[in-house]
Structure 1
Amino acid sequence: MDRRRRRLLQSAAAWAGVSSIGGVPASWAAMNAPLSGGAPFSFDRLIALARDLATLPYVPPKPRYGQLLSQLGYKTFMGIKTRKGHQLWENTDLPFSVEFFHLDNGIRVPVDINIVSNGHARHLDYDPKMFVYPDPTLAHRMPDDLGYAGFRLHDARTDHREWLAFKGASYFRSPGTENQYGMSARGVSVNSGEPGPESFPDFTRYWIQRPHPGDDAITLWALLEGEHLTGAYQMRCSRPGDVIMDIRCRLFQREAIERLGIAPLTSMFWFSETNARRGADWRPEVHDSDGLAIQTGTGERIWRALSNPPRPDISLFADDNPHGFGLLQRDRNFDHYQDSGVSFERRPSTWVEPVGDWGHGQVALFELPTNDEIYDNINAFWIPAQPATAGSRWAFDYKLLWTDHAPFPGNLAHVTATRTGHAGDPSTYKDRRPTDRKFVIDFDGGPIGQNEPGADIHIDASASFGEIDNPYVIAIGSGHPGWRVFIDWRGDTPPDQQSVVLHCRLMRGKEPLTETWVYSYYPKPLPG
C-alpha cells in the first residue's frame, strides 16, 4: 500500500476523536474568530485561479513543523480536544457550526481556510487557544501559526451532531443518517488501479460561506492542487434527513493521466457471507460496503457484489450518461456483524447522481486484497472515455447522497445475499473439479414479494470463462420473503490467471424481474 495512503487512512481513523472540552465564553466563536484580510470571491474567480495555477509548475507542500508533529502519537492526538465555545458560529442563531481538526503525525501540512460573507472572503487565522492538550507542556510547544488539518460541520438546528468532515488529501465523508462514519469520498482520483503509484491531489484551500439564520444548506468551495492537475469545487451541503451534496467540479490538467477518476468513492471490504474467513476473525462479516450499485443510462440496474481478491482487480462497466452509481451497505442486520463497537450495520451508503451530460465512459471498481479492516481497499469512480491528456479541461456536476436506504426505484427485486460452496449435489461431490463452484443468490423486493416462482420465470446467467450448469430458482421460504437462485460454475483456472466474471438475473419473458447480479470469481480449490 502506498505510504501516503497509509498515513491518510491512519489519520482518518482519528476523524471522530476531537471533541469539545473546557469552558470559555460561548460568544467567542461569534465575536472573536480571528479573521484577516479580505478580497472579492466567487466560484468563477476560483475557477480562474485553478486554471492559472495549472500553467505553473507544481510545488509540493512541505510541512513547517514536521518534526514537532511527528512526536504526536495516536494516544496523545486523541487526547487533544476542542475548547468549549471555540467552534466557529457555536452558540449563535446560525444553523451550522464548524469545528477544526488539529494537525497530526499523518497530516502535517495545514489547509488554508477562508470565510465568505457578502461576496468577500476573509482568511481564518490559526488560534492557539482553540485546543486543550492532555499535556500542558505540549500546548506551550505548539507554534502560534500551526494551522488546521481540516474541519467538520455540526448541525445546530437539531442535535449539534457532526454531519460532514474534510480532512486529508481531497477526502471527505459523512456519518449519514445513522451517525456512523464508514466510507469516504474524494475530489478526484489519479491513476487508481494503474500499475504505477497512485497520486493524491490535495484540497489546499477552503472557503466556507457564512450561513444566515434559517438556512437549510451551507456552501463550501475548495481548491485542488496536485502534480497532474488543479481543480475548483463548489459544494452545496444540506441535511434534510440524508446528507446531500450538490457538487460542481472543474479540472485543469498539468500532465497526462492514465486513469482519471471522477466522483471517486473509497470503502473497506474484508469479508462477508460470500467469503467468510472462518477462524480468522470472530465476527461473521466485516465491511463498510457490500456492493457497487449502478443504474445505467438505459435504466438497467446492476449489483456487483464486492470481493476481497487474491490480487488487485479492476472491473469496468461501459455506459453512456449513467443515471447513477455508488458503494452501498445493504446488509443492515446487526446479527450479521455482531460488533456493537463499530456498528457496521449503521455505516452509510453513498450514491453519485450525475447532473447534465457525462457522455461515454466507464464506471470502475478497483478492489485490493486486504487482511485487516483498517485499510480502505475498495475504490469506485467514473472514467471519461476522452483521453486525459495534458492541457485537458473537465467539467462535471453531480449530487452525492449519504443515506441508509436504496437510492433508486424499487420496481425490480434486489440482491440481498451472495453465498458460495462446492458445486453439484452432495452425491456428486466426488466428481467435481476442485475449482467448480456453486453460487447462491438471494433476491427480494419489487415484483417478487411472497410469491412463488412460476414456470414462466427463467434464469439469465452467463460466465466470461467456463460454463454455467444446473440453474434453478426456489422461494426462500421458512417465513423469509424472496427467491433464491442456484447456479454452478464449472471450469478450470483461466489461462491468464484472471477472474471469471459471472452475471445472473431473473426474467419473465423479455422483462427483467431483478437487477443484474455480477461477481468476480478467482477459481481456487475449497477446503473440505
Structure 2
Amino acid sequence: MSVPSRRTILALLSTACVFANSAARTQATANSSKGFSYDDVVERAKALANQPFDAESSKIPAELSKLTYDSYREIRFRRDKAFWRDGGSDYRLLPFHLGFLHDKPVQVHIINHGNAIPIPFTTGLFEYGKVPVPKGLSPALGFAGFAVTTNLNDPKIQDEVISFLGASYFRLIGRGHRYGLSARSLALDVGGKQPEEFPFMRALWVEEPSRDATDLVIYALLDSPSVAGAYRYVVSPGRETSVDVTATIIPRNDIERLGIAPLTSMFQAGEGDLTQRSDFRPEIHDSDGLMMQSGSGEWIWRPIRNPKALRISSFGDKNPRGFGLMQRDRDFGSYQDLEARYEARPGYWVTPQGDWGDGRIDLIEIPTTNEAFDNVVACWTPNKPLPSGQPAEFRYRITAVSTTWHLHSYAQAQQSFNGSDVEDGVTDGKGTKRFIVDFAGGDLAYYQSEPDRVELVATTTSGSIVSKILTFNSPLKGVRVIVDATLPDGQSAELRIFLKSRKRTLSETWTATWSVPADELLAHPPRK
C-alpha cells in the first residue's frame, strides 16, 4: 500500500485547492476537432515503453523534497491565477506545487485550438506563506498535478470536482460529497509477493473548455519501471459525477498482478467491530462494502472488514458488468464524526465497457489500527498476463454515488454482524461462527403479512451450515437472518446468503469469508 497518510493527502487537497473567483491567465475557446488527441498520447506511451525506464528524470530539486508537511501546506495556488477564469467557462484549473511527498514532476498542458501548450512553472502562481520563495526553479519544472473546480453544488460557487495528485491517483466527487476513497489509473502487484509498484503520471493534458462545455477532457501519460500507458478521462460533473476512462496499457515486462480500474479506500471499524474502535465513534470507514454485478447478472455484496492478517478475496468472472467500493451507511449517527463526516463520503461504481474477458475482482484488505492510511483495494485482474510490448485497451466508467438503491431493484444488505474474520468459538472440535445480516428494500415489505413465502438460502464452500433463522425486521421493513456455521481446523470458507420466494430472487447475495487457523482449536477449550 501507499506510504503517504491519507489524512495528509486529504489535508493537502483541501489547502492546496482554492475556489477560483478572480481573473485567469487564459482565454477560453471552442475545442478544435483537429490537432492534439488521444492518439498522440498513445504514440508517446508506445515510444516510452520501448525505452528503459528513466528514474532520473522524475526527480525534483532537494529544497522541494525536503519540505515538511507543515511547510508544504503553506504553499497555495493564487486565487487570482486560476486558469479559464475569464473565458466564460464553468471550469477552473488549479495546479499543485511540487514538494514534500509529491516528488514526481508532472508536465501540465492546456490544449487550445488543437495545440498542446505546456504551462510553465513560475513561483508567481503560488502563495508561499512562511516558506521562503524558492529561487532559480526552471519553468520546465512541472507540477505535482492539478485540481479542477466547477459549479458543482451552487451556480454561483466554484467547488472542486476532480483532482490528480500523487502517483496515478485521482479523486472525483458528486453533489454534496466530501473526499473519501480514491481511484487509481493502474495497480501493479498490490497484495502480491513482491513490493507494490506505483505508476505515476509524467504528463497531463487538458482540453480547454468552451463557454458551453459540460464535459472536461483530460489525457495522461503514465510510466513506471514495468509499464507505460496512455489515458483519456472525460469528466461529467453533476449529482453523480462520472468519468469515462480509456486506458491503453503497454507492459515493459511480465507483471504478476495487474489491477485494472483500481479503487483504494479505508476501513477501520464498522457495526459489530467493537474491538477495532479506538475512541467514541461507532464506525470509522470511507467504504463499508464491495458491490459487484457479475457477468451473469448476479448482484453481490461483500462487507469490508479490518482483518487480523492480510486477506485477499477473489471473485472469478467473465466480462463483469460492474463493481465498486460503496459507503451504504449514510447516517451521521453511525459515525459521530463532525470533522471527517464519513456519511458524506461517496462510493465509486465501475462500469466496464467492451470485452474484458476472463479474470477476477480482487479485494485486498490490510490490517490497520489507524484511519490515516488506506488499507482496502478493489480492482479487476485479468487471468492472462498482458503480453510485453503489446498495447491493451480497457474502457470503463467510474461514477461517484451516494446510494446503491438505484443500481438494482432487489433487497439490499443494510448491516451485518459477524465480527472478525475468524471463528467465534469451538464446538465438538470444530470452529463455530454466527452471521447476522439485515436485508431491506426491494419487495420485502410486500411479504410482511405472509413471511412463510420468503426462503433463506445459505451455502458454504467448506464446513457446514448448522442452523438458519429468518425473522421479519419491522423497523427496517425487511428481514433479519441468522446463520450458524462450523468449519474444521485449518480451513477457510466463503459463506453466501440470499433470499428468494419460490423461483423468484428477492435479494442480492451477501457473502463473507472466515477461517479457522491451523492449530487454533487447541487454544480454545470445547464448549459444554
Shift of residue 186, structure 1, vs aligned partner: 0.7
Deviations 1:131-190 (A, max 9, x none): 111216x11547354431110110045520001000111100023322300000011111
Confirm or deny: 8 A CA contact 1:362 1:382 kept in the other structure: yes
| Residue in 2 that maps onto 1:114 | 109
Between the aligned partners of 1:503 and 1:277, the Cα distance in structure 2 is: 25
Which amino acid is the alignment partner of residue 498 of structure 2?
R
> Aligned to 2:455, what secondary structure does the other structure show?
strand
Could you tell me which of 309, 313, 316 is aligned with 2:314?
316
Confirm or deny: 8 A CA contact 1:295 1:302 kept in the other structure: yes
Shift of residue 66, structure 1, vs aligned partner: 4.2
Could you tell me which of 461, 472, 475 is aligned with 1:475?
472
Could you tell me which of 497, 500, 515 is aligned with 1:507?
500
> Aligned to 1:417, what secondary structure does the other structure show?
strand
Which amino acid is the alignment partner of residue 296 of structure 1?
S
Shift of residue 391, structure 1, vs aligned partner: 2.4
When normalised by structure 1's length, the TM-score is 0.90
1:451 counterpart = 2:444: no
Deviations 1:287-325 (A, max 9, x none): 100000001111100001111111111111111211110
Q: How many residues align?
A: 506
Confirm or deny: 8 A CA contact 1:276 1:285 kept in the other structure: no
Between the aligned partners of 1:205 and 1:446, the Cα distance in structure 2 is: 46
Could you tell me which of 134, 147, 150 is aligned with 1:155?
150
Could you tell me which of 64, 69, 76 is aligned with 1:74?
69
| Residue in 2 that maps onto 1:405 | 403
Confirm or deny: 8 A CA contact 1:177 1:403 kept in the other structure: no
Between the aligned partners of 1:162 and 1:378, the Cα distance in structure 2 is: 24
Shift of the 20–397 alpha-carbon distance from structure 1 to 2, 3 Å rule, reads closer
User: What does residue range 373-384 of structure 1 map to in structure 2 within 5 Å?
Assistant: 373-384=371-382
Between the aligned partners of 2:169 and 2:20, the Cα distance in structure 1 is: 29
Could you tell me which of 346, 355, 361 is aligned with 1:363?
361
Shift of residue 421, structure 1, vs aligned partner: 6.6
Could you tell me which of 195, 198, 209 is aligned with 1:197?
195
Which amino acid is the alignment partner of residue 41 of structure 1?
F
Which amino acid is the alignment partner of residue 518 of structure 1?
T
> Aligned to 1:169, what secondary structure does the other structure show?
coil
1:139 counterpart = 2:133: yes
Between the aligned partners of 1:167 and 1:389, the Cα distance in structure 2 is: 29
Confirm or deny: 8 A CA contact 2:226 2:253 kept in the other structure: yes
| Residue in 1 that maps onto 2:26 | 30
Shift of residue 393, structure 1, vs aligned partner: 2.3
| Residue in 1 that maps onto 2:31 | none
Confirm or deny: 8 A CA contact 1:7 1:107 kept in the other structure: no
| Residue in 2 that maps onto 1:212 | 210
| Residue in 2 that maps onto 1:520 | 513
Which amino acid is the alignment partner of residue 133 of structure 2?
A
Confirm or deny: 8 A CA contact 1:237 1:244 kept in the other structure: yes
1:485 counterpart = 2:481: yes
After TM superposition, the structure 1 stretch with the greater mean CA deviation from structure 2, 164-173 or 434-443, is 434-443
Deviations 1:321-366 (A, max 9, x none): 1111000000001111010110011001001001112122111111
Shift of residue 493, structure 1, vs aligned partner: 3.7
Shift of residue 64, structure 1, vs aligned partner: 4.8
Confirm or deny: 8 A CA contact 1:410 1:445 kept in the other structure: no
Confirm or deny: 8 A CA contact 1:439 1:486 kept in the other structure: yes
Shift of residue 103, structure 1, vs aligned partner: 1.5
Shift of the 507–22 alpha-carbon distance from structure 1 to 2, 3 Å rule, reads closer
Shift of the 458–160 alpha-carbon distance from structure 1 to 2, 3 Å rule, reads same
When normalised by structure 2's length, the TM-score is 0.90
Confirm or deny: 8 A CA contact 2:290 2:323 kept in the other structure: yes
Shift of residue 481, structure 1, vs aligned partner: 1.8
Confirm or deny: 8 A CA contact 1:177 1:404 kept in the other structure: no
- Where does structure 1 lack aligned partners over 5 or more consecutive residues? 33-38, 423-428
Shift of the 21–175 alpha-carbon distance from structure 1 to 2, 3 Å rule, reads closer
Shift of residue 253, structure 1, vs aligned partner: 1.1
Shift of residue 71, structure 1, vs aligned partner: 3.3
| Residue in 2 that maps onto 1:236 | 234
Which amino acid is the alignment partner of residue 493 of structure 2?
V
Shift of residue 121, structure 1, vs aligned partner: 0.8
Shift of residue 410, structure 1, vs aligned partner: 3.3
Shift of residue 29, structure 1, vs aligned partner: 2.4
- Where does structure 2 lack aligned partners over 5 or more consecutive residues? 29-33
Shift of residue 70, structure 1, vs aligned partner: 3.6
Shift of residue 509, structure 1, vs aligned partner: 1.9
Which amino acid is the alignment partner of residue 249 of structure 1?
A
Deviations 1:377-404 (A, max 9, x none): 1111111222233223211111110111
Deviations 1:455-495 (A, max 9, x none): 23222112233221210111112x33211000012234425
| Residue in 2 that maps onto 1:436 | 432
Confirm or deny: 8 A CA contact 1:442 1:483 kept in the other structure: yes
1:87 counterpart = 2:85: no
Between the aligned partners of 1:481 and 1:159, the Cα distance in structure 2 is: 40
Which amino acid is the alignment partner of residue 511 of structure 1?
R
> Aligned to 1:68, what secondary structure does the other structure show?
helix
Between the aligned partners of 1:333 and 1:343, the Cα distance in structure 2 is: 10
1:272 counterpart = 2:290: no
| Residue in 2 that maps onto 1:337 | 335
Confirm or deny: 8 A CA contact 1:446 1:513 kept in the other structure: yes
1:173 counterpart = 2:171: yes
Between the aligned partners of 1:516 and 1:21, the Cα distance in structure 2 is: 43
Q: Percent identity?
A: 31
Shift of the 52–459 alpha-carbon distance from structure 1 to 2, 3 Å rule, reads same
Between the aligned partners of 1:308 and 1:342, the Cα distance in structure 2 is: 19
Shift of the 165–433 alpha-carbon distance from structure 1 to 2, 3 Å rule, reads farther
Between the aligned partners of 2:228 and 2:138, the Cα distance in structure 1 is: 30
Which amino acid is the alignment partner of residue 194 of structure 1?
G
Between the aligned partners of 2:199 and 2:284, the Cα distance in structure 1 is: 29
Shift of the 368–503 alpha-carbon distance from structure 1 to 2, 3 Å rule, reads same
Between the aligned partners of 1:348 and 1:513, the Cα distance in structure 2 is: 26
Confirm or deny: 8 A CA contact 2:440 2:476 kept in the other structure: no
